[in-house]
């Protein structure tokens, strides 16, 4: 119910109210008994990702990175966490936090290759190796840009 309410509020451009519903959903999921946690986690990830993507597209990188970080720290499995970390890196780039973005991308590249579920894809259906390749490319672009210009204006990427 909180997912649909947050989604509805987001569509009505009531960002603060939508964000509040997401926070309530986060709290409910964190306090959920194990039998409910497995049912509620997908909703938490879905609403959080949708809100964070919307904030990113609107240029509200602070709200977006806050949500992506919360999602990356959630109980999501490792590969899903990596997808959210990648999005954190994109936000950090947009906020001009180049060194932080490089560190975030490097965590993706250095993460173990196995997952508890045995799956080779994350929540956004990006194969893990492609996600790692994208992170490696972003690191290379950021390092090259920072060598040429100490304060680079980097083109953004879609979440």
Beta strands in the chain (DSSP E): none
Question: Where residue 48 falls among pLDDT bands split at 50, 70, 90?
Answer: confident
C-beta neighbour count of 18 within 10 angstroms: 23
Output the pTM of the full model.
Answer: 0.75
Q: What is the pLDDT of residues 70-111, one digit of tens each?
A: 888 876 677 788 999 999 999 999 999 999 999 999 999 998
pLDDT of residue 106: 96
| Separation CA 146–CA 127 (nearest Å) | 29
Query: Following CA atoms 58, 63, 64, 66 in sequence, which dihedral angle do they give, to the nearest 10 degrees?
Result: 180
Burial (Cβ within 10 Å: 0-12, 13-18, ≥19) of residue 25: buried
Q: Could you give phi then psi for residue 34, rounded to 5 degrees?
A: -50, -35
Alpha-carbon Rg of the chain, whole angstroms?
Answer: 16
Question: Where residue 135 falls among pLDDT bands split at 50, 70, 90?
Answer: very high
3-state SS assignment for residue 77: coil
């Amino acid at each position: 119910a909180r997912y649909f309410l947050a989604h509805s509020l987001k569509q009505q451009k009531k960002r603060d109210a939508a964000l509040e519903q997401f926070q309530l959903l986060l709290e409910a999921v964190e306090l959920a008994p194990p039998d409910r946690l497995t049912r509620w986690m997908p909703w938490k990830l879905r609403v959080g990702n949708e809100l964070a993507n919307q904030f990113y597209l609107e240029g509200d990188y602070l709200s977006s990175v806050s949500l992506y970080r919360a999602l990356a720290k959630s109980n999501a499995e490792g590969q899903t966490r990596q997808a959210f970390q990648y999005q954190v890196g994109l936000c950090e780039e947009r906020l001009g936090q180049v060194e932080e973005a490089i560190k975030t991308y490097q965590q993706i590249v250095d993460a173990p290759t196995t997952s508890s579920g045995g799956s080779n894809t994350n929540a956004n259906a990006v194969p893990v190796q492609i996600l790692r390749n994208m992170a490696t490319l972003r690191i290379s672009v950021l390092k090259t840009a920072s060598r040429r210009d100490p304060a680079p204006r980097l083109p953004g990427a879609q979440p």
